[in-house]
Structure 1
Amino acid sequence: MVGQDKLLQGKWALVTGASNGIGRAISLAFAEHGANLWLSARNRDKLHETADDAKALGAEHIIIVQADMSIKESVDELAGVVGSKVDVLVNNAGTLTESSVLKGNPDDWDRMVQVDLAAPMRLTRHLAPQISQRQDGGHIINISSVAGLEAIPGFAAYVAAKFGLTGFSKSSFEELRDKNVLVTTIYPGYVASEMTKNAPFPQDKMIRPEDIAQAALLPFRMSTRACPTDIVVRPSHKLA
């Protein structure tokens, strides 16, 4: 950003779900602040689009790794490719399916829980020890949801996955803070994206993905003596 220091100059950041929405916005914001990028998602073509735009914003090194967070072996392979070359992990990839206790399909819930909870846990387990060995340590950013803080009728399984991520994030912070790794969790309300295109609210009143990207930069604006552990971002006006 013009007139500001490069907050992530030379750092390597892995962003999952980087092909669109919040993941894409975070990737571009990090690129603007000098980060090198590992970009991961299922759609290789869209990843290349994100990579091209990140390059134009100043990212010097970008590596694309196609991965499916619903498959644990794919998560393991991603971690293996990245190895020790990561300073910032952004667990952003997520999915939402019908999750009412009256209508939802438990088989669909299994995949959602794998993507929204198990994959971030698995990737963190693989990479946190590596991040802790970096010269200046590093940071883990988990993209949760306000559904990880409060009950939402009709979304029971999704809420369960996000509450799980909340608990995992808080425990990770306590375990890793003395090992040179900090953990921040972001809890967005409705964000205008592919995931919310069928929501019963107008997208022009929703949070923009770029707003969440700015929240993801907040930890790096602070001194090494401070960590924003929980960042809640809600629409500034009621949606209905």
Structure 2
Amino acid sequence: MGGQDKLLQGRWALVTGATGGIGRAISLAFAEHGANLWISGRNEEKLKDTAEDAKALGAAEVIILKVDLAASKAVDELAAKVTDKIDILVNNAGLAVEAAAMKGDPDQWEEKMMQLDLLVPMRLTRRIAPAISKRQAGGHIINISSVAGIEALPGIGGYNAAKFGLTGWSKSIQQELKEHNVRVITIYPGYVASEMTADAPVSQDKMIRPEDIAQAALLPFRMSPYACPTDIVVRPAQKLSRGA
């Protein structure tokens, strides 16, 4: 890919949950377009794999940050490490656990799912947005949500709650931060073939690929400074089949 075609040359991006799936795919797509990367996750070996592949694709610098975002202190420490050079924040790390009205563990909803899917993006944004706003060319915050953030479905009420919360947060900060030259984009994928959907009630053969979401994450950088795709919904092209 020629230098003139690189959309993110020299910019710094933090991608959370970069060990696999959507986070890894976004990291690699950004690397191919010349971005430098901070990548975070809990599995250091998988982060190293992502880093090696990102460098092979063209990232000049890739910094691994092994972190468990379940603790607020860890979120603050992560933010402190990146604020000196950050242009793009990708809030991707997330979790889905059983969370229906008649099933599931409310302690898990609070301690894990609500923390990772909602409170971590909120806290990271609060810590990092001021630094992004000071960048000469402004910056971007990309929140990876889910169609569960715009459509309520039975059996996943807790996940719906977390993702609907992220939708509300995203829409609010989009209004606030545009005055500071920071664009906020929320991506709402349907079922994506990854470890997270391995136990889903539908097979993965026709699911969206993580690379498709990575292309959606590149869309804001293909547009002029006068436009921002604030909400990007990506659905499977075909009806998903049940079972293996």
Q: TM-score, normalised by structure 1?
A: 0.98
* CA distance in 1: counterparts of 2:28 and 2:205, whole angstroms: 21
- Superposition deviation, residue 3 in structure 1: 8.9
3-state SS of paired residue (1:205):
coil
Q: Which amino acid counterpart does residue 79 of structure 1 have in structure 2?
A: A
CA contact (8 A) 1:139 1:182 kept: yes
Match of 1:184 in 2: 185
Q: Does structure 1 residue 11 correspond to structure 2 residue 4?
A: no
3-state SS of paired residue (2:58):
coil
Q: What is the CA deviation profile of residues 123-166 of structure 1, one whole-angstrom value per residue up to 9, with x for unaligned ones?
A: 00000000000111100000000000010110000000000000
Change (3 A) 1:36 1:3: closer
Change (3 A) 1:98 1:137: same
Match of 1:208 in 2: 209
Give the total of aligned pairs: 240
Match of 1:238 in 2: 239
4+ runs deviating over 6 angstroms: none
* CA distance in 1: counterparts of 2:218 and 2:4, whole angstroms: 12
RMSD: 1.0
3-state SS of paired residue (1:177):
helix
Q: What is the CA deviation profile of residues 167-224 of structure 1, one whole-angstrom value per residue up to 9, with x for unaligned ones?
A: 0000010000010100000000000000000112111110000000000000000000
Q: TM-score, normalised by structure 2?
A: 0.97
- Superposition deviation, residue 68 in structure 1: 1.2
Percent same amino acid among aligned pairs?
70
3-state SS of paired residue (1:104):
coil
Match of 1:94 in 2: 94
Q: Which amino acid counterpart does residue 147 of structure 1 have in structure 2?
A: A
Match of 1:75 in 2: 75
* CA distance in 1: counterparts of 2:89 and 2:137, whole angstroms: 14
Q: Which amino acid counterpart does residue 37 of structure 1 have in structure 2?
A: L
Match of 1:119 in 2: 120
Match of 2:39 in 1: 39
1:44-193 equivalences in 2 (<5 Å): 44-110=44-110, 111-193=112-194
* CA distance in 2: counterparts of 1:2 and 1:130, whole angstroms: 30
- Superposition deviation, residue 4 in structure 1: 6.5
- Superposition deviation, residue 84 in structure 1: 2.7
CA contact (8 A) 1:94 1:115 kept: yes
* CA distance in 1: counterparts of 2:30 and 2:157, whole angstroms: 33
3-state SS of paired residue (1:204):
coil
- Superposition deviation, residue 101 in structure 1: 1.0
CA contact (8 A) 1:84 1:131 kept: no
* CA distance in 1: counterparts of 2:162 and 2:4, whole angstroms: 37
Unpaired segments ≥5 residues, structure 2: none
Unpaired segments ≥5 residues, structure 1: none
Match of 1:217 in 2: 218
* CA distance in 2: counterparts of 1:147 and 1:40, whole angstroms: 24
- Superposition deviation, residue 91 in structure 1: 0.1
* CA distance in 2: counterparts of 1:3 and 1:126, whole angstroms: 32
* CA distance in 2: counterparts of 1:4 and 1:212, whole angstroms: 23
CA contact (8 A) 1:31 1:37 kept: yes
1:11-30 equivalences in 2 (<5 Å): 11-30=11-30
Change (3 A) 1:203 1:44: same
